[in-house]
């Protein structure tokens, strides 16, 4: 985004006349910055850092509220109450002394353990002479997710070059290369679902250190899925070139030839652990 000059939107006939049927829903044109004024060299740097987090989460209840609401639902349905008053009092008294038997689990806090720290950096160099103008930009992005084993890192390099071959012939040569790596849990989607459906009166981890659900029932524990279920590593490498020759026939009359080859390669490694 630091080297974007402008963004334009083409709709209807304007886009179809240039890009054909591929532009049936319109076209977004992103114009990047070019080299600076003649005989000038400049270096600029932009960076930022911050933290990410969930902006809105479903309201949660603790173990006591859960049992009370279960009783209300059963009473409205005309069913027997699942939790007696005596059991509820016993449960509340035992939460502080025996969390293995009387858990009060906050699944959201256990899943959303990371701070989402992220930072980005862009170094831009521009130079120009009578015949050649160049802009080179190097970018780096590093994001930590809000759950364990999740991250995203990307490095990108872009070079825009304008060359005046003669008084009538101009050439543009742009190239962009990026390498992105994303790590995540193979069970990340399940964990987010279970985070809001597992009840607070189910224990996550016993005081012995053993996770609940480790005996062949890993799917019952979203924390165990994230921490010990494995990791997915995705790597995407993209390269794009844009070449154009423009010949000036007369004032206001130009002929252009353009080519835009693209290259992309994706590698996915999925490691799943069997927790027993």
> Which residue's entry shows tokens 């000038």?
40
Name the residue range of residue 11's domain: 1-32
What's the number of domains the chain is made of?
A: 3
Both 188 and 215 in one domain: the answer is yes
Both 187 and 259 in one domain: the answer is yes
* pLDDT of amino acid 216: 46
Both 260 and 190 in one domain: the answer is yes
Q: What is the mean pLDDT of residues 136-161?
A: 94
Both 240 and 119 in one domain: the answer is yes
* Per-residue pLDDT at 25 exceeds 80: no
DSSP one-letter string for 203-221: -SB-TTSPBTTTTT-GGG-
Both 86 and 155 in one domain: the answer is no
C-alpha span between 24 and 10 (Å, rounded): 10
* pLDDT of amino acid 218: 45
pLDDT digits (tens, 9 = 90+) for 111-121: 998 889 999 99
**Within 10 A of 71 (CB to CB), how many other CB atoms are there?**
18
pLDDT category at 161 given cuts 50, 70, 90 is very high
pLDDT category at 228 given cuts 50, 70, 90 is confident
Q: What is the mean pLDDT of residues 34-59?
A: 84
Both 170 and 199 in one domain: the answer is yes
Burial 188-198 (b: 16+ CB within 10 A, else e): beebeebbeeb
* Per-residue pLDDT at 82 exceeds 90: yes
Both 122 and 208 in one domain: the answer is yes
Both 129 and 227 in one domain: the answer is yes
Average pLDDT, whole number, for the chain? 87
Both 114 and 234 in one domain: the answer is yes
The pTM of this model reads: 0.77
* pLDDT of amino acid 128: 87
Are 204 and 110 contacting, i.e. CB atoms less than 8 angstroms apart?
yes
Of 40, 10, 37, give the one whose Cα is nearest residue 25.
10
C-alpha span between 189 and 166 (Å, rounded): 58
**Within 10 A of 262 (CB to CB), how many other CB atoms are there?**
10
Both 25 and 161 in one domain: the answer is no
pLDDT category at 225 given cuts 50, 70, 90 is confident
């Amino acid at each position: 985004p630091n080297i974007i000059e402008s963004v334009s939107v083409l709709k209807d006939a304007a886009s179809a006349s240039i890009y054909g049927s591929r532009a049936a829903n319109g076209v977004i044109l992103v114009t990047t910055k070019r080299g600076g004024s003649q005989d000038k060299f400049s270096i600029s740097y932009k960076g930022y850092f911050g933290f990410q987090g969930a902006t809105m989460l479903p309201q949660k209840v603790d173990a006591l509220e859960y049992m009370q609401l279960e009783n209300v639902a059963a009473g409205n349905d005309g069913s027997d109450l699942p939790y007696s008053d005596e059991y509820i009092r016993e449960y509340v008294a035992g939460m502080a002394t025996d969390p293995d038997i009387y858990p009060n689990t906050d699944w959201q806090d256990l899943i959303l353990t990371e701070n989402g720290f992220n930072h980005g950096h862009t170094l831009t160099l521009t130079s120009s002479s009578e015949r050649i103008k160049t802009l080179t930009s190097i970018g780096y992005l590093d994001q930590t997710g809000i759950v364990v084993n999740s991250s995203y890192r990307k490095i990108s390099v872009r070079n825009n070059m304008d060359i005046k071959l003669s008084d009538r012939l101009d050439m543009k040569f742009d190239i962009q290369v990026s390498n992105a790596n994303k790590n995540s849990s193979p069970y990340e989607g399940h964990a987010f679902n279970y985070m809001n459906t597992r009840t607070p009166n189910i224990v996550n981890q016993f005081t012995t250190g053993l996770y609940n659900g480790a005996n062949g029932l890993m799917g019952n524990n979203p924390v165990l899925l994230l921490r010990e279920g494995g990791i997915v590593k995705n790597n995407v490498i993209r390269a794009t070139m844009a070449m154009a020759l423009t010949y000036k026939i007369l004032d206001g009359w130009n002929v252009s030839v353009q080519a835009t080859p693209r290259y992309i390669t994706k590698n996915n490694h999925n490691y799943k652990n069997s927790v027993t």
